[in-house]
Amino acid sequence: MLTTDSTFEIKLSKTSSIESVDFDNIMFGQVFSDHLFYMDYIDGEWTRGVIEPFGPMSISPATMCIHYGQSIFEGMKAYRQPDGSVSMFRPGANISRFNLSAQRMCMPEIPEDIFMQALVELVKIDQKWVPNNENSSLYIRPFLFATDAHVGVRPSNSYRFMIFTCPVGQYYNKPVRVKIEREYTRAAIGGTGAAKAAGNYAGSLLPTKLANEKGYDQLLWTDSKTHTCIEECGTMNVAFVIDGKMIIPSPSDTILNGITRDSAIKLALDLGIEVESRTVTITELEKAAENGTLNEAFGLGTAATVSLMSTIGFDSGDYDLPDLSTWTVSSRIKKALDAVRLGTGEDKHGWNIPV
């Protein structure tokens, strides 16, 4: 079916795979909603966007993004509200960060109004895919990649912008064991660590695999120069509670400016929790672990939401965090964040955008 009363060309799917989905047991990132959005950048202009059935696409083997990694993405979420409607959480912040990533990777920005309209129309068309279960949501994945078929390193002249969505449950279904990484580096000053560039994630795979082999789930990256300061996990920003105070590494050239991180800080301050956004050293963490003041450690991300850490692997050995029943900071932040996103609490910062 084809509808035309939109800025975009809309080709609706004749079938839906939703009946085959077990919404109570969704594996993160493995189930895709019926439609996707795409829009091409050709000869210096964005062409008309298209919404069409989700499916494979055909590209040249010489497509530049495959060879030279000019590819960026975002992750955001939409939530079912108590009245059955659907709201996206802070999509404007993701759009701004996407365009910053585009600048850093020498790619064209997406006009903000078209980006927002594409999100709203796509999520509206597939709104039955937004889960209703606890800890579930519709994950939205916008991405942009170089499409020139060309061998040779230069910025591409043509690009494709796409969005697809997938119903998701939890990214981590149990508290994670993290190892402080002091040999490999995720991001260096002047590099691309603050952008959501595809290559940043590829570079993390080998060190993460090595940590997995030692029984850890994730890495806590450290700065590339001295390997003495905690940065982020790659899949999420990180925060610690030391002596009741929330301590969180500040965004930088090498630490992604996380939207969940920002939301958590604002909600923590609303809740009267003391927050320090600053450099966090391994020494400080290790001392706090030794003297019993390291109360909580958790990750913050769109996919990960608020993910608790069970163990931190220092060079000197593993530190098991205190029993989760004693964690009051992360639990209050998660509760407050859930209440806003799920529409059961006041949205005093105006973060929810209805579709």
* DSSP 8-state code for residue 8: S
Q: Phi and psi (nearest 5°) for 300?
A: -135, 120
CB of 291 to ligand COI, least distance (A): 33
Q: Token pair for residue 57? A: 């696409």
Instruction: Name every residue whose Cβ is closer than 8 Å to that of residue 346 and which is 6 or more positions away in sequence.
Output: 339, 340
**Which segment (18-26, 33-41, 299-307, 342-350) binds ligand COI by CB under 6 A?**
299-307
Least distance in angstroms from the C-beta of 254 to ligand COI = 16
Which stretch in 36-44, 151-159, 245-253, 298-306 sits in contact with ligand COI by CB under 6 A?
298-306
In angstroms, what is the minimal distance from the CB of 238 to ligand COI?
Answer: 13
Distance CA 315, CA 317 (A): 6
The CB-of-303 to ligand COI minimum distance in angstroms stands at 3
Q: Which of 302, 307, 330, 352 binds ligand COI (CB under 6 A)?
A: 302
Stretch that binds ligand COI, among 148-156, 174-182, 302-310, 331-339 (CB under 6 A): 302-310
Q: Which of residues 59-98 bind ligand COI (CB under 6 A)?
A: 75
39 binds ligand COI (CB under 6 A): no
**How far is the C-alpha of 312 from the C-alpha of 331, rounded, in Å?**
19
Query: In this chain, which of 165, 204, 235, 254 binds ligand COI, going by CB under 6 A?
Result: 235
Which of 193, 301, 313, 343 touches ligand COI (CB under 6 A)?
301
Residues 180-209 that bind ligand COI (CB under 6 A): none
Q: Which residues contact 20 (CB under 8 A, 6 or more apart)?
A: none
Using alpha carbons, list the distances in angstroms from residue 62 to 46, 81, 109, 147, 200. 22, 44, 23, 9, 22
Tell me the closest approach of the beta carbon of residue 258 to ligand COI, in angstroms. 8
| Residue 3 parent element (H or E) | strand 2-3
CA distances from residue 19 to 22, 31, 227, 264, 296 in whole angstroms, order as listed: 8, 12, 49, 35, 41
- Binding residues vs ligand COI (CB under 6 A): 75, 235, 301-304
